[in-house]
Structure 1
Amino acid sequence: MSDVWISDVRIMGREGNFDIGVQGGHIAEIVTAGTRTYSGQVIEGRGLLAMPPFVEPHIHLDSVLTAGQPRWNESGTLFEGIQRWSERKPYLTREDVLTRVDEALQWMMAQGTLHIRTHVDVTDPTLTALQALLELREKVRGVVDIQIVAFPQEGIYSYQNGRGLELLEEALRLGADVVGAIPHYEYTREYGVRSIDACFDLAEKYDRLVDVHCDEIDDEQSRFVEVLATRALERGMGQRVTASHTTAMGSYNDAYAYKLFGLLRKADIHFIANPLINITLQGRFDSYPKRRGFTRVKELWQAGINVCLGHDDIMDPWYSFGTGSMLQVAHMAMHVGQMTGRQEAMACVDMVTYRSAKTLQIEDRYGIEVGKPASLLLVDADDKWDLLRRMPPAELVMSHGMVVAKTDPVKRRVYWTSRDGVVGEGGYGVDFRMHTGSPVSASEPRV
């Protein structure tokens, strides 16, 4: 007997309308809508689309909401962003980090993001931000699932004469879930290769996943992704390894890219692109034509390689904008990646849901299936295509059987009359959707 029923919903990827029974925080039953009589609590689904929560695979929560502190990134470059952050780090406190991240998490939860992988800068002798994020991870456990990447923002071997390695290992001992690196930012290519090797050594020693900021630069000679993929292949760790950014791939010549893709398929690693930020940071040294600063997302997807999408930043030294909406991320990727074919566009939705869940290794507890946690969203959309086109809010967000956020649906009405030339008296409601099914009553528009 289920404790709560969500009645009359459509489930992403399935035909028909269903009732979902929730018991003990898990999905206990999925039955055809209207075939049962229920007692107890019933949440009216009203024919909305039920989908799994959004997954944020790449964000820097330690730096959220610090844009302009102490100075703005006026050049808009990655390198000035790193400089501005190095100026902000000395002022980090536990309370500062917790307050900012709590605010950002509320934005993200309200929009349906319940799984997050966050990079935390560990090139800080005090590890202040890391310890605050470890505390917060435990506080929100059971509501929001947070993975923490120990990320050496200023390099492993280039930071304080190699002290980055010591701090990276200390972060893992304290409880970070994933090992990070930034080889293209190290002083030399040799340092960059050593940093990747150190990353894998620590991952094996502490049984951790790997997520490397890789080739986040326009330099077509930055080719650390081949090193990362080779190490993953040699050590049999492909599914535990992620290459983030890889923007230099957008500048590789096609002959090299063809060879590279053969290695990537063998290595079986994951990729994360961050379209909002990388199209802003990259190409800054170009005149015209300007490069997009975006990795080969479409080509990776076509090659059968798992690729997903993240924010990277929300209102910080690298990106002064952002709301925490994963649909904004997918929407931008669709445009800048020229993925406007129907299957391509719908794949962009998968890149902020199922594909990101695969990267985070949480597939066993993700999705709307009997036995899995009752974590889901209700949205007013026909399907993935409609979801991406209109980007509707999540009207209900449920985590482990608890309703954690609601958004009142937006209704837009246009009133018009030519009588006496006055606009606004009388009129009718307008639904702005392009319907594929039954029309919606003009008096009760759904948008």
Structure 2
Amino acid sequence: MKKKFFNAKIYRNDAATEMIVENGKIVQIGKNLPKCEEEIDLGGKLVMPPYVDPHLHLDYVYTLSELGQEGAGSGTLFEAIELWPKFKETLTVESVKKLAIKGIHDEVSQGVQHIRTHIDVTDPNFTALKAMLEMKQDLKDIVDIQIVAFPQQGMYTYKGGRELVEEALKMGADVVGGIPHYEPAREFGEQSIHDIVKLGLKYDKLIDVHCDETDDPNSRFVELLNALVLMEDYGTRTTASHTCSFGSADNSYAYRMMDLFKKSKMNFISLPTENAYLQGRQDTYPKRRGLTRVKEFMENGINVSFGQDSINDPWYPMGNGNMMNILDNGIHLAQTMSAPEIEKVFDLITYNGARCLNLQETYGLEVGKAANFIVLNESTVYEAIRKRVDVLASVRNGEFLFRRQEMKYDIPLKL
């Protein structure tokens, strides 16, 4: 049965107000399209491809509250990593599922349909990985989940960590992860980068590295990662997450690297809320923002996106899966709110994230692609961002995942 969604403001397509969907795919986009058996009025609201969260730790969500433990008192990344093994001891496949489903609900109920999750595999039992592999399959009709084999305690800091990452890839993880700045010395961080790229090539996997999540401008593992994937022509399949130190680097170095990033076409993910909270802890004033060079990446055509990172875990006590909140914080921190910038910043939580996940061939509001989209409670990009509006509906394969009414008042404000 064909259905028509009409009276819409379609993101990136000013010439269209209607979409016809058949068998879960978009078959027509335009104006004054033929009548269909079912017609759905979208009330003049802004229609966008679904939000993408390209960086989330679903095995960590709600561990802070649910397990009744305290996070890092210092608020630093490294203390939280040291605390994590105590949390990990208590996890079971079922407990991971129980908490992860809460995090997934948080995100999907607010318009996310694609999640890349970093799952800690420095665990010989692979407890969290087994749970997530099951959830990926069970929830595929609701949300796409990409799994990163992530060595939270390091490939070398944790004995046998590299071998555990490789085994996780054999078990079905989609992406090779790493954390070079946590290795015990620069030499081992560099070795882990070599290992990550070799594993990606060996198993034909995507790459996503927690890279230089520190204020230290001498942490430059992103340089080595970029060089290796540039030489292997693997940049479009590679992502550097965080790269906080790149925001502390001097301009001479940074602009040399910008040129190399453009050549490799490597992707970047910035985590605005979490890194604003974690970084700059050793600074007095001026205090660094903890953000990579988002504005400069955008100006240079380097793909960068925003992610949630954590929801109520030892690293970050807040978080609720609301990508509009992430976008709002990110564009403030990155100072990207000029009129031309506002017109394209929604890409930071939609199309750019899809590119990080290598979904660009299937993602987006185009004829022939899956009818996956969200409806925002405004009619223009500017007003939607300014008001940080809610998602009124999420549609997947042409069917509503949810639909809610606009807010109504029992007693309206009178001025």
Measured against the shorter chain, the TM-score band is over 0.9
Q: Is the Cα–Cα contact under 8 Å of residues 10 and 16 in structure 1 kept in the other structure?
A: no
Counterpart residue number, 1:329: 326
Whether 2:123 is the aligned partner of 1:120: answer: no
Between the aligned partners of 1:224 and 1:348, the Cα distance in structure 2 is: 27
Supply the AA of the counterpart residue of 1:133: M
Residue 346 of structure 1 deviates from its aligned partner by: 3.3
Question: Share of identical aligned residues, percent?
Answer: 42
Supply the AA of the counterpart residue of 1:126: N
Larger Rg: 1
Between the aligned partners of 1:83 and 1:123, the Cα distance in structure 2 is: 13
Counterpart residue number, 1:13: 12
Between the aligned partners of 1:208 and 1:245, the Cα distance in structure 2 is: 20
Q: Is the Cα–Cα contact under 8 Å of residues 94 and 128 in structure 1 kept in the other structure?
A: yes
Counterpart residue number, 2:36: 38
Q: Is the Cα–Cα contact under 8 Å of residues 53 and 376 in structure 1 kept in the other structure?
A: yes
Between the aligned partners of 1:376 and 1:11, the Cα distance in structure 2 is: 10
Counterpart residue number, 1:442: none
Supply the AA of the counterpart residue of 1:272: I
Superposed CA deviations along residues 407-435 of structure 1, whole A, max 9, x for unmatched, are: 3212468857xxxxxxxxxx47xxxxxxx
Between the aligned partners of 1:46 and 1:10, the Cα distance in structure 2 is: 9
Counterpart residue number, 2:144: 145
Whether 2:297 is the aligned partner of 1:300: answer: yes
Alignment of 1:2-401 (within 5 A): 2-16=1-15, 18-33=17-32, 35-39=33-37, 41-68=38-65, 69=67, 70-160=69-159, 163-401=160-398
RMSD in angstroms over aligned alpha carbons?
Answer: 1.6
Task: Tell me the secondary structure at the aligned position of residue 222 of structure 1.
Answer: coil
Task: Tell me the secondary structure at the aligned position of residue 329 of structure 1.
Answer: helix
* Cα 1:38/1:258, change in 2 over 3 Å: closer
Task: Tell me the secondary structure at the aligned position of residue 82 of structure 1.
Answer: helix
* Cα 1:17/1:300, change in 2 over 3 Å: closer
Between the aligned partners of 2:143 and 2:109, the Cα distance in structure 1 is: 12
Supply the AA of the counterpart residue of 1:93: T
Residue 261 of structure 1 deviates from its aligned partner by: 1.6
Task: Tell me the secondary structure at the aligned position of residue 40 of structure 2.
Answer: strand
Task: Tell me the secondary structure at the aligned position of residue 328 of structure 1.
Answer: helix
Task: Tell me the secondary structure at the aligned position of residue 62 of structure 1.
Answer: coil
* Cα 1:30/1:266, change in 2 over 3 Å: closer
Q: Is the Cα–Cα contact under 8 Å of residues 365 and 373 in structure 1 kept in the other structure?
A: yes
The 10-residue stretch of structure 1 (253-262 or 168-177) with the greater mean CA deviation from structure 2: 253-262
Counterpart residue number, 1:443: none
TM-score, with length taken from structure 2: 0.96
Residue 16 of structure 1 deviates from its aligned partner by: 4.8
Task: Tell me the secondary structure at the aligned position of residue 284 of structure 2.
Answer: coil
Residue 57 of structure 1 deviates from its aligned partner by: 0.6
Unaligned residue ranges in structure 1 (runs of 5+): 417-426, 429-447
Q: Is the Cα–Cα contact under 8 Å of residues 15 and 30 in structure 2 kept in the other structure?
A: no
Task: Tell me the secondary structure at the aligned position of residue 242 of structure 1.
Answer: strand
Q: Is the Cα–Cα contact under 8 Å of residues 239 and 269 in structure 1 kept in the other structure?
A: yes
Superposed CA deviations along residues 375-400 of structure 1, whole A, max 9, x for unmatched, are: 11111223222221112111110111
Q: Which has the higher contact order (CA 8 A, sep 6+)?
A: 2
Superposed CA deviations along residues 169-191 of structure 1, whole A, max 9, x for unmatched, are: 11000000000111111001100
Task: Tell me the secondary structure at the aligned position of residue 343 of structure 2.
Answer: helix
Task: Tell me the secondary structure at the aligned position of residue 318 of structure 1.
Answer: coil
Supply the AA of the counterpart residue of 2:168: A
Task: Tell me the secondary structure at the aligned position of residue 349 of structure 2.
Answer: coil
The 10-residue stretch of structure 1 (91-100 or 69-78) with the greater mean CA deviation from structure 2: 69-78
Number of residue equivalences: 413
Superposed CA deviations along residues 27-55 of structure 1, whole A, max 9, x for unmatched, are: 1222414x53332x332211111110001
Between the aligned partners of 1:314 and 1:342, the Cα distance in structure 2 is: 31
**Moved segments of 4+, more than 6 Å:** none
Residue 4 of structure 1 deviates from its aligned partner by: 2.2
Q: Is the Cα–Cα contact under 8 Å of residues 26 and 366 in structure 2 kept in the other structure?
A: yes
Q: Is the Cα–Cα contact under 8 Å of residues 110 and 406 in structure 1 kept in the other structure?
A: no
Q: Is the Cα–Cα contact under 8 Å of residues 17 and 47 in structure 1 kept in the other structure?
A: no
Residue 342 of structure 1 deviates from its aligned partner by: 1.6
Between the aligned partners of 1:17 and 1:202, the Cα distance in structure 2 is: 44
Supply the AA of the counterpart residue of 1:332: N
TM-score, with length taken from structure 1: 0.89
Unaligned residue ranges in structure 2 (runs of 5+): none
Superposed CA deviations along residues 212-232 of structure 1, whole A, max 9, x for unmatched, are: 110000111101010000001
Between the aligned partners of 1:345 and 1:333, the Cα distance in structure 2 is: 12
Residue 193 of structure 1 deviates from its aligned partner by: 0.7
Q: Is the Cα–Cα contact under 8 Å of residues 178 and 211 in structure 1 kept in the other structure?
A: yes
Supply the AA of the counterpart residue of 2:343: M
Residue 363 of structure 1 deviates from its aligned partner by: 1.0
Superposed CA deviations along residues 130-162 of structure 1, whole A, max 9, x for unmatched, are: 1100100011113211100000011101112xx
Task: Tell me the secondary structure at the aligned position of residue 146 of structure 2.
Answer: strand
Superposed CA deviations along residues 244-282 of structure 1, whole A, max 9, x for unmatched, are: 000001111111112222221222100000000000000
Residue 207 of structure 1 deviates from its aligned partner by: 0.5
